[in-house]
Structure 1
Amino acid sequence: MQLDGILFDKDGTLFDFARTWNSWAGELIAETCRGEPERAERLAAALRYDLGAQAFRPDSPVIAGTNREAAELAVSALPEWTVEDMEVHLMESAARLVQVPATDLAPLLEALRRAGLKLGVMTNDTEYAARAHLDQAGVTEFFDMVIGFDSGYGAKPDPEPLLAFATAQGLAPERVAMVGDSTHDLIAGRAAGMVCIAVLTGTALEHELAPFADHVFPDIGHLTGWLAAA
Structure 2
Amino acid sequence: MSNVRAVLFDKDGTLFDFYRTWGPVTEAAALVVAHGDPIRAEIILTGSGKDPKTGRYRPGSPIASGSNQEIAQLWADLLGRHDEAGEIYRQMESMFLERQRQGAVPVLDLPVFFSRLRHRGLKLGVATMDSELGALTAMDRYGARDCLDFICGFDTGHGVKPGGGMVEAFAREMGIATGAIAVVGDSPHDIEMARAGGAGRAIGVLTGVSPREALLECGADIVIDSIADLETVL
**Do they fold alike, i.e. is TM over 0.5?**
yes
- 3-state SS of 1:141 partner: helix
Aligned match for 2:180, one of 171, 175, 180: 175
Q: Residue 101 of structure 1 corresponds to which residue in structure 2? A: 106
TM score, norm. by length of structure 2: 0.90
1:79 deviates by 3.5
Q: 1:143, 1:26 → 2: CA distance? A: 31
Structure 1 residue runs without a partner (length 5+)? none
- 3-state SS of 2:184 partner: strand
What is the RMSD computed on CA atoms of the aligned residues? 1.7
Aligned match for 2:156, one of 136, 151, 159: 151
Q: 2:64, 2:168 → 1: CA distance? A: 23
Aligned match for 1:216, one of 220, 223, 229: 223
Q: Are the equivalent residues in 1 in contact too, given 2:57–2:63 (CA < 8 A)?
A: no
Q: Residue 14 of structure 2 corresponds to which residue in structure 1? A: 13
Q: Residue 204 of structure 1 corresponds to which residue in structure 2? A: 210
Residue by residue, what CA displacement relative to the aligned partner does 1:49-95 show, whole Å, maximum 9, x if unpaired? Answer: 35676x34325321011112101111012334622222222222111
- Matches for 1:17-28 after TM superposition, within 5 Å: 17-28=18-29
Q: Are the equivalent residues in 1 in contact too, given 2:166–2:197 (CA < 8 A)?
A: no
- 3-state SS of 2:65 partner: coil
Q: Residue 3 of structure 1 corresponds to which residue in structure 2? A: 4
Q: 1:150, 1:164 → 2: CA distance? A: 13
Structure 2 residue runs without a partner (length 5+)? none
TM score, norm. by length of structure 1: 0.91
Q: 1:216, 1:85 → 2: CA distance? A: 38
- 3-state SS of 1:208 partner: helix
1:220 deviates by 0.5
Q: Residue 46 of structure 1 corresponds to which residue in structure 2? A: 47
Aligned match for 1:136, one of 132, 141, 147: 141
Q: 1:51, 1:94 → 2: CA distance? A: 22
* Identity fraction in percent: 36
AA matched with 1:64: S
Q: 2:191, 2:51 → 1: CA distance? A: 26
Q: 1:210, 1:96 → 2: CA distance? A: 34
